[in-house]
């Protein structure tokens, strides 16, 4: 080991030292540069229940990092003439309805299909109830509307990848798991890697997924489906993933040059703006180098895979419940290993609230029924709840534009004509995403009381696309929404934002979905409402007869 490698190891050990404990779940990390493995460690516990520690041999779910394997599987079938990735999905899955258009397989791969997602609809309407085999396709088949027309913009969709996996099964004549094993994992010598369709199967050395229970302990994490496919089913080790990363940036043993050129090609949206997301992979600049990467998240675990091809640097971080953002910590690894190669400072400081107080507030678009809020958090300007994502995101300023550089759907821009100063208040802002602009008006009304807002709203509603019945009730000045899906139920509390807009938050803090509910009134009476979540737009519910 060189002195340089030894120094890097010491810095990486210090970075991960907080996770070196026996009373919490942890993570496994591996870093390689060229042919040298610089770092390979396990931290924390693979199973608190059985007091088993994480090691480099521990297997974990890689979640959505699975997606580029799914894309490559489809391209291998295209090489054999068994499918056309530019053909519409309905050419292979005839049962799907023709809605705003017939998205191509590539549009499914690049999250530009516009289809709603079975997983988000399920989490919204029935919480973490286990979805049986076939239910995901049935959810996609019953949709009567889309989030947007194919190719217009990007919205991350696990449902699109599930459909792509079903196409792979139909045209190959093999189960999805068997196809990946025969044509990818066996060829690459990835003996510890497999596509595992549910969390109920017992496999050796697979870490338990852990979720904080809110009381100092943990609950077992289970992905809510019996049929997880190309959207996030792969289980692997850091050693197998290092082997794959070297293949990803180097000479190829699997796939033709034309297939790999397609893998790395990002599409353009209908606006003409180019995406940063290709076929299950993202390519983004960072301090003078180009990162090729993809993250993954499951219930109780997460992953980040990253390679810097120009410097032959490969990074894999797998977690089973450690309180860490793998994407951010992977960048810290890049900072340490490539310290002498990087340009610029650390990522720019987020915009300060000072001098921008007039931007703070809630904004709403009657056209799309989307809503977001600009808040101050520790003197940092933050965007919360755009399309009702539960996580705040830092904004980076350039002239009269604030940009969100992170997020699975690529960057957003918040534009304002004049920076509000001296007490001036912005009445509207412009949101730009995928090159498409939308104006959001400030919500200036004082929120009505819950009793006032619920007038004409309570009762029973049907949501055909949601596959659920909704019950709205007011009791003890608390307005609740109970969703009853086909497999389970979930309850939310509604808080008025203005007369016809409500925030939607689950009563059980372990449930993950949040959103907004907007109503349409005839006089004081409500006949229908729409729900918007992070990845679902304008989900309609109509009052039951």
pLDDT in tens, 494-536: 999 998 999 999 998 888 889 999 999 988 899 999 999 989 9
CA atoms within 13 A on the CB side of 243: 17
Average pLDDT of the chain, as a whole number: 92
Q: Which tokens sit at 345?
A: 């400072």
**Domain assignment of residue 190, given as a range:** 60-114+149-337
- pLDDT tens readout for residues 244-290: 999 999 999 999 999 999 999 999 999 999 999 999 999 999 999 99
Domain assignment present for 508 = yes
Domain assignment present for 513 = yes
Same domain, 435 and 306: no
* Cα 157 from chain centroid (whole Å): 8
Residue 207 phi/psi, 5-degree rounding, is -65, 145
The total of structural domains in the chain comes to 3
Same domain, 269 and 314: yes
Q: Evaluate if residue 10 carries a pLDDT over 50.
A: yes
Last residue of one domain, picked from the residues 442, 468, 495 = 442
Domain assignment present for 343 = no
pLDDT of residue 350: 76
**Beta strand residue intervals within 353-409, DSSP E:** 361-364, 371-377, 380-384, 393-394, 396-398, 401-404
Domain assignment present for 8 = no
What's the CA gap between 36 and 8, in Å, rounded? 13
User: What would you measure as the largest C-alpha separation in the chain, in angstroms?
Assistant: 77
Same domain, 241 and 212: yes
Domain assignment present for 140 = no
Task: Determine which of 7-16, 241-250, 408-417, 428-437 has the lowest per-residue pLDDT on average.
Answer: 408-417
Q: Evaluate if residue 394 carries a pLDDT over 60.
A: yes
Residue 201 DSSP code: S
Taking residues 462-491, what's their average pLDDT?
Answer: 96
Same domain, 411 and 458: no
Domain assignment present for 358 = no
Q: Evaluate if residue 391 carries a pLDDT over 70.
A: no
What's the CA gap between 316 and 325, in Å, rounded? 13
Provide the CATH number for the domain around residue 525.
Answer: 2.40.128.50
Same domain, 392 and 506: no
Closest CA to 136 of 173, 166, 168, 91: 166
Comparing 20 with 377, the larger pLDDT belongs to 20
Same domain, 251 and 392: no
Same domain, 401 and 459: no
Instruction: Report percent pLDDT > 70 for the chain.
Output: 95
Same domain, 73 and 190: yes
Same domain, 434 and 517: no
Measured from the Cβ of residue 391, the count of other Cβ atoms closer than 10 Å reads: 12
Domain assignment present for 437 = yes
Task: Determine which of 51-60, 252-261, 315-324, 423-432 has the lowest per-residue pLDDT on average.
Answer: 423-432
What's the CA gap between 51 and 44, in Å, rounded? 10
Residue 246 phi/psi, 5-degree rounding, is -60, -35
Last residue of one domain, picked from the residues 337, 361, 390 = 337
What's the predicted TM-score (pTM) here?
0.94
**Beta strand residue intervals within 326-387, DSSP E:** 361-364, 371-377, 380-384
Same domain, 176 and 85: yes
Residue 496 phi/psi, 5-degree rounding, is -65, 135
Domain assignment present for 363 = no
Q: Evaluate if residue 390 carries a pLDDT over 50.
A: no
pLDDT of residue 348: 63
Same domain, 93 and 242: yes
Provide the CATH number for the domain around residue 157.
Answer: 3.40.710.10
Same domain, 241 and 184: yes
Q: Check if the beta carbon of residue 197 is closer than 8 Å to that of residue 158.
A: no
Taking residues 145-149, what's their average pLDDT?
Answer: 96
Instruction: Report percent pLDDT > 90 for the chain.
Output: 78
Last residue of one domain, picked from the residues 442, 470, 504 = 442
Residue 263 DSSP code: H
Q: Which tokens sit at 528?
A: 């229908």
What's the CA gap between 519 and 448, in Å, rounded? 14
Question: DSSP 3-state assignment of 135?
Answer: helix
What's the CA gap between 71 and 87, in Å, rounded? 14
- pLDDT tens readout for residues 171-213: 999 999 999 999 999 999 999 999 999 999 899 999 999 999 8
Helix or strand (DSSP H, E) at 141: helix 135-141
């Amino acid at each position: 080991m060189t002195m340089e490698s030894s120094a890097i190891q010491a810095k990486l050990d210090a970075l991960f030292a907080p996770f070196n404990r026996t009373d919490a779940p942890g993570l496994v990390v591996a870093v390689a540069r060229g042919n040298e493995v610089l770092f390979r460690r396990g931290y924390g516990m693979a199973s608190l229940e059985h007091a088993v520690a994480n090691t480099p041999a521990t297997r974990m779910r890689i979640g959505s990092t699975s997606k580029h394997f799914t894309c490559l599987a489809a391209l291998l079938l295209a090489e054999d003439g068994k499918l056309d990735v530019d053909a519409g999905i309905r050419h292979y899955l005839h049962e799907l309805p023709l809605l705003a258009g017939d998205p191509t397989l590539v549009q499914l791969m690049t999250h530009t299909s516009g289809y709603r997602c079975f997983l988000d609809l399920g989490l919204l309407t029935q919480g973490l109830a286990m979805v049986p085999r076939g239910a995901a396709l049935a959810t996609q088949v019953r949709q009567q509307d889309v989030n947007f027309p194919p190719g217009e913009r990007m919205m991350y969709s696990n449902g699109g990848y599930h459909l792509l996996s079903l196409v792979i099964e139909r045209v190959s004549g093999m189960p999805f798991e068997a196809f990946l094993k025969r044509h990818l994992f066996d060829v690459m010598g990835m003996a510890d890697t497999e596509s595992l369709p549910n969390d109920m199967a017992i496999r050796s050395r697979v870490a338990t997924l852990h979720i904080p229970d809110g009381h100092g302990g943990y609950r077992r994490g289970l992905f809510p489906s019996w049929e997880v496919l190309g959207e996030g089913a792969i289980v692997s080790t850091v050693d197998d993933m290092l082997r794959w990363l070297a293949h990803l940036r180097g000479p190829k043993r699997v796939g033709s040059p034309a297939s790999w050129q397609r893998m790395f090609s990002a599409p353009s949206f209908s606006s003409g703006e180019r995406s940063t997301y290709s076929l299950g992979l993202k390519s983004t600049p960072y301090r003078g180098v180009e990162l090729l990467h993809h993250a993954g998240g499951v219930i109780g675990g997460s992953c980040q895979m990253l390679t810097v091809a120009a410097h032959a640097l490969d990074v894999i971080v797998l977690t089973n419940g450690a309180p860490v953002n793998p994407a951010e910590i992977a960048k810290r690894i890049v900072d340490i290993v490539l310290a002498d190669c990087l340009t610029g400072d650390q990522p720019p400081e987020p915009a300060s609230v000072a001098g921008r107080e007039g931007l703070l507030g809630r904004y709403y678009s009657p056209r799309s029924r989307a809503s977001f809020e600009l808040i101050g958090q520790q003197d940092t300007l933050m965007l919360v709840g755009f399309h009702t994502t539960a996580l705040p995101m830092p904004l980076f300023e350039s002239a009269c534009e604030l940009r969100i550089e992170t997020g699975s759907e690529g960057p957003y821009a918040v534009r304002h004509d004049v920076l509000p100063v001296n007490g001036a208040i912005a009445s509207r802002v412009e949101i730009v995403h995928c090159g498409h602009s939308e104006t959001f008006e400030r919500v200036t009304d004082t929120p009505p009381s819950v009793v006032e807002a619920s007038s004409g709203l309570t009762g029973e509603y049907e949501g055909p696309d949601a596959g659920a019945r909704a019950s709205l009730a007011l009791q003890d000045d608390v307005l609740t929404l109970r969703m009853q899906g086909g497999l389970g139920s979930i309850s939310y509390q509604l808080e008025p934002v203005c007369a016809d807009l409500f925030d939607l938050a689950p009563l059980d803090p372990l449930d993950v979905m949040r959103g907004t509910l907007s109503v349409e009134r005839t006089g004081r009476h409500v006949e229908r409402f729409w729900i918007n979540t992070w990845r679902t737009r304008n989900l309609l519910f109509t009052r039951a007869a």
